Amino acid sequence: GTRAGQAEQFRTAHGVGRRDRLHAIEEVREETGTASRRFHSVLQRARAMAQEQNVKLHTHVVAGHPVRDIVGLASELKVDLLVIGAKGHSALYERMIGSRADRIMQLAQCPVLVVK
C-alpha cells in the first residue's frame, strides 16, 4: 500500500500513536567496546524505523547501578511501558542472585515487558 497506509499499519501493530515518543536506554560499563558498537548499530536502525513512522526517538545513557538507574529514568520520564531485554543466566545464578529483569519488574512503577 501507500506509505501512509504502511505507517498506519505499523502504528496499529505496535501500539504506537502519532504523538508517542520512544526512549532507548543504554547501560554503560567499563568493558563497553563491543556492546557500545552493537547498541549504536541497533540505535541507527531504530532511528530509521522511527523516522519512517514519524515517531520521536530519544536516547539515554545510564552509568552506575543499572536497575536503579533504569527504573529511576522510567519513573522520571513517566513512561507507560518499559520494554527490556533479558539474557539468560544459569539456574543457580537466577536462584541465588535473581535477574536484573526480575528486579526491574519488581521496582518499576509501570508495566514491564521482558524480551528474550
The pLDDT profile of the chain, 116 residues, written as one tens digit per residue, is: 554 455 555 555 556 555 567 776 766 665 556 666 777 787 888 888 888 888 888 888 777 888 999 999 999 999 988 888 777 666 666 665 567 888 999 999 999 988 87
**Total structural domains within the chain:** 2
Is there a single domain that holds both residue 51 and residue 85?
Answer: no
pLDDT value of residue 78: 92
Is there a single domain that holds both residue 50 and residue 7?
Answer: yes
pLDDT value of residue 63: 77
Query: What residue numbers bound the domain in which 51 lies?
Result: 1-63
pTM of the model: 0.64
pLDDT value of residue 32: 57
Is there a single domain that holds both residue 1 and residue 46?
Answer: yes
In terms of C-beta distances under 8 Å and separation of at least 24 residues, what long-range contacts does 17-22 make, across chains too?
Answer: 18/54, 20/55, 20/56, 21/55, 21/56, 21/57, 21/58, 22/46, 22/50, 22/55, 22/56, 22/57, 22/58
Is there a single domain that holds both residue 75 and residue 55?
Answer: no
Residue at which a domain ends, from 38, 63, 88: 63
